[in-house]
Structure 1
Amino acid sequence: MNQAEANYTTTEKEMLAVVYAFKKFRSYLILNKSIVYTDHSALKYLFAMKDAKARLLRWILLLQEFAFKVIDTPGKEAIDILNACHNGPTGGHYGDNYTAKKVFNSGFY
């Protein structure tokens, strides 16, 4: 995220993440139906807007070539998912290779 994108609203940042993901994985997603799970229902509102900012309209036009739907995850379910990911036995662990790289780069070996 560059300095200008850091000033976007939360909703615009979420939309930017969706646009980035669809651009990055375009070749995989173009012919398949996709589901975007979000905890922020404003994305559905953005896709339905007709009088949005030019930037949002460009993003919406870009995303229209993909077949996907946006599903809101309720707050409780999102919290449960995050807890399962972060409180598990490997929660917060970056993996062996990344940890070794950090150690070697620090000079303490």
Structure 2
Amino acid sequence: MKVSSFDVNLSTREIQVRGTSVPVGSRAFDILAVLMAAHGQVVSIEDILRKVWPDTVVEESNIRVQVCALRKALGEDRRLIQNIPGRGYRLTPKSETPAARAGIPLLGE
């Protein structure tokens, strides 16, 4: 599945940025898959915790750490993962990121 300048293969759990394979941890990949499945809608912190860590009790800080790793892996496309304060996260098409257009740094950067 193509998202901006990166490709995500859900079956092989691989991310390629501009044709180069980029390693990410399994939890970070799981978060990306959850955000992709939401098709641009906000995914609540609770939903991410429930889907990525279904049988484990973890703190919200784990999400921030994994999102930070994802953003680092995505490089120029890091702004596609948006933090929506008080609500959760979303993966948005590049053309819809007001922070990217305004040059505003995202939380976790």
TM over 0.5: no
Superposition TM-score, scaled by structure 1 size: 0.24
TM-score by length of 2: 0.24
Report 1 or 2 for greater relative contact order, CA contacts < 8 Å, sequence distance ≥ 6.
1
The structure carrying a bigger helix percent of its residues is 1
